[in-house]
């Protein structure tokens, strides 16, 4: 990748995953001269943008998250106009399981309340109806569920490719790979960002390096309370070629110290078409830092997932065939999945440093780029970010 001839930018975006590319795209639309720095290669498999599919869903236990999912829809529609590939395959969201369980995704009853409050249509289901309509089996009678028809399987590879190409076409946005940021200095209102490929200056910073967030914000003298999950994923061969599932998530109590939540996708023609992806939504060993991750899925997590498929799904051979991993940072702050804010005020020039960190944000990709762009260029967003702000106790000085 050629190095930029010019070294001064309106905005420097640190992190070239889905959210960094989306921010580069939206900044380019606003004609802001933008540099997007990626420490590895663009479209790599080493951060939170790894893997090829994600779930777009509207059910959340918090009304503000339901609203965010609804607000994201027009931005997906806009991105869709840039590619002939279908980015969202609207197969619906099926949430089911023990209604008393609170998982990292929330709780079914609370999600129903939030959907009702915002007039989002959905259908309530009994265990027998879930089995009859969606090919699951052997579910405890006490399980309940909901189906929300606007949920979708995201072609995340196509999403990232579309954003990457849009940035490449944009005369205002420069993409630079193999550029880990090694230092950030400030001279008055100007940031100087050092990388092995060059030193760049910028008026504003947007920091979106996914699970590598701490390594970047430490350069500015602060840190974040996070845990890191190296999430495993598996593909199971269809024994019934016609079997189809929606995107789904099952809420169950953990067995001992191990997780017991699983989620899955429909079969798709763009990713292992003979297979269906099912994954655990837990890790047996959370990591203290991203450096501890390996690219090897945890065998016990794969075994639990295979047992779930064997016991509760139909039309699949319960042997995990293909596997993958994805590294994610999760906030340790209760009820704060996504952190969207400016740097804390003790950092000089904090109002010109925008940070997005932690959580599962793929479903918001095109919208989050827009929000971060508004924060960087306007100092505020038309979308209310107050539920996502950190509070100064949480960004700690180092
Ligand atoms: C989500 O919808 O946020 C999600 C689904 C499955 C695993 C993790 C997150």
DSSP labels for 264-319?
A: E---BTTB-TTEEEEEES--SS-BSSGGG--SSPPHHHHHHHHHHHHHHBSSB--S
Please identify, among 331, 350, 384, the residue that sits at the C-terminal boundary of a domain.
331
In a domain, 58, yes or no: no
In a domain, 82, yes or no: no
In a domain, 199, yes or no: yes
Closest residue (by CA) to atom 8 of ligand 1?
Answer: 281
Closest residue (by CA) to atom 5 of ligand 1?
Answer: 55
Tell me the pLDDT band of 312, cut-offs 50, 70 and 90.
very high
The β-bridge partners of 130 are none
At 101 the pLDDT is 87
How far apart (Å, rounded) are the C-alpha atoms in residues 165 and 372?
20
Please give the model's pTM, rounded to 2 decimal places: 0.96
Kindly state whether residues 167 and 315 are assigned to the same domain: no
Closest residue (by CA) to atom 9 of ligand 1?
Answer: 360
Kindly state whether residues 232 and 308 are assigned to the same domain: yes
Tell me the pLDDT band of 394, cut-offs 50, 70 and 90.
low
Closest residue (by CA) to atom 2 of ligand 1?
Answer: 55
Q: State both tokens at 245.
A: 């599932």
At 255 the pLDDT is 72
In a domain, 380, yes or no: yes
Kindly state whether residues 163 and 238 are assigned to the same domain: no
Kindly state whether residues 246 and 273 are assigned to the same domain: yes
Kindly state whether residues 251 and 131 are assigned to the same domain: yes
Provide the CATH number for the domain around residue 278: 3.30.9.10
In a domain, 77, yes or no: no
Kindly state whether residues 162 and 177 are assigned to the same domain: yes
Kindly state whether residues 259 and 295 are assigned to the same domain: yes
CA of 207 to the centre of ligand 1 (A): 23
In a domain, 116, yes or no: yes
In a domain, 279, yes or no: yes
CA of 156 to the centre of ligand 1 (A): 13
Mean of the pLDDT values across residues 45-61?
A: 97
Please identify, among 331, 354, 376, the residue that sits at the C-terminal boundary of a domain.
331
Which residue range forms the structural domain that includes residue 368?
8-49+157-224+335-397
In a domain, 68, yes or no: no
Instruction: Kindly report, residue by residue over 92-125, the tens digit of the pLDDT.
Output: 999 999 988 888 778 899 999 999 999 999 999 9
- The backbone torsions φ and ψ at residue 206, rounded to the nearest 5 degrees and listed phi first, read -120, 120
Kindly state whether residues 145 and 162 are assigned to the same domain: no
At 1 the pLDDT is 63
At 343 the pLDDT is 95
Site to probe by mutation for ligand 1, drawn from 279, 280, 281, 364 as the one with most ligand atoms within 8 Å of Cβ, is: 281
Structural domain tally of the chain?
Answer: 2
Report whether pLDDT(392) > 60.
no
Task: Using only the alpha carbons of the chain, give its radius of gyration.
Answer: 21
- What count of other Cβ atoms lies within 10 Å of the Cβ of residue 74? 12
Kindly state whether residues 237 and 310 are assigned to the same domain: yes
Provide the CATH number for the domain around residue 391: 3.50.50.60
Q: State both tokens at 374.
A: 């508004």
Please identify, among 286, 311, 331, the residue that sits at the C-terminal boundary of a domain.
331
Tell me the pLDDT band of 284, cut-offs 50, 70 and 90.
very high
At 254 the pLDDT is 79
Kindly state whether residues 27 and 143 are assigned to the same domain: no
Tell me the average pLDDT of the chain: 95
Instruction: Kindly report, residue by residue over 115-159, the tens digit of the pLDDT.
Output: 999 999 999 999 999 999 999 999 999 999 999 999 999 999 999
Which spans in the chain are helix H? Answer: 18-29, 63-80, 108-117, 127-134, 156-169, 213-217, 299-312, 365-378
Q: Is 153 in the pocket of ligand 1 (CB under 6 A)?
A: no
How far apart (Å, rounded) are the C-alpha atoms in residues 341 and 353?
9
CA of 363 to the centre of ligand 1 (A): 9
CA of 212 to the centre of ligand 1 (A): 20
Instruction: Kindly report, residue by residue over 187-243, the tens digit of the pLDDT.
Output: 999 999 999 999 999 999 999 999 999 999 999 999 998 999 999 999 999 999 999
Instruction: Kindly report, residue by residue over 181-197, the tens digit of the pLDDT.
Output: 999 999 999 999 999 99
Kindly state whether residues 261 and 142 are assigned to the same domain: yes
Instruction: Kindly report, residue by residue over 15-52, the tens digit of the pLDDT.
Output: 999 999 999 999 999 999 999 999 999 999 999 999 99
**What percent of the chain clears pLDDT 70, i.e. is strictly above it?**
97
Kindly state whether residues 142 and 98 are assigned to the same domain: yes
């Amino acid at each position: 990748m050629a190095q930029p001839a010019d070294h001064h930018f309106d905005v420097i975006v640190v992190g070239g995953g889905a959210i960094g590319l989306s921010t580069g795209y939206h900044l380019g639309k606003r004609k802001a001269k933008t540099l997007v720095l990626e420490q590895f290669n663009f479209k790599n498999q080493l951060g939170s943008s790894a893997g090829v599919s994600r779930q777009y869903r509207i059910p959340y236990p918090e009304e503000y998250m339901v609203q965010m999912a609804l607000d994201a829809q027009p931005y997906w529609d806009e991105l869709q106009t840039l590619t002939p590939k279908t980015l969202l395959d609207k197969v619906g969201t099926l949430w089911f399981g023990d209604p008393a369980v609170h998982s990292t995704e929330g709780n079914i009853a609370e999600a129903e309340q939030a959907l009702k409050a915002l007039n989002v249509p959905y259908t309530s289901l009994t265990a027998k109806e879930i089995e009859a309509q969606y090919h699951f089996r052997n579910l405890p009678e006490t399980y309940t569920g909901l189906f929300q028809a606007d949920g979708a399987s995201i072609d995340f590879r196509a999403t990232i490719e579309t954003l990457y190409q849009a940035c490449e076409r944009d005369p205002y946005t420069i993409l630079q790979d193999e550029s880990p940021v090694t230092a950030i200095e400030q001279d008055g209102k100007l940031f100087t960002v050092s990388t092995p490929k060059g030193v760049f200056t910028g008026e504003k910073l947007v920091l979106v390096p996914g699970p590598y967030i701490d390594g970047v914000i430490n350069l500015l003298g602060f840190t974040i309370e996070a845990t890191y999950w190296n999430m495993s994923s598996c593909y199971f061969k269809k024994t019934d070629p016609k079997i189809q599932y929606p995107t789904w998530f099952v809420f169950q109590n953990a067995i001992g110290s191990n997780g017991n939540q699983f989620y899955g996708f429909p079969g798709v023609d763009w990713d292992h078409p003979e297979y269906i992806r099912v994954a655990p939504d837990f890790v047996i060993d959370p990591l203290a830092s991203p450096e501890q991750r390996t690219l090897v899925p945890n065998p016990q997590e794969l075994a639990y997932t295979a047992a779930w498929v064997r016991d509760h799904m139909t039309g699949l051979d319960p042997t995990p065939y293909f596997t993958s991993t994805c590294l994610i940072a999760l906030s340790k702050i209760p009820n704060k999945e996504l952190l969207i804010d400016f740097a804390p005020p003790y950092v000089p020039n904090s109002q010109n440093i925008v940070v997005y960190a932690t959580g599962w944000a793929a479903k918001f990709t095109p919208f989050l780029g827009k929000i971060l762009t508004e924060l960087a260029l306007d100092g505020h967003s038309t979308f209310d970010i107050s539920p996502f702000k950190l509070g100064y106790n949480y960004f700690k000085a180092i």
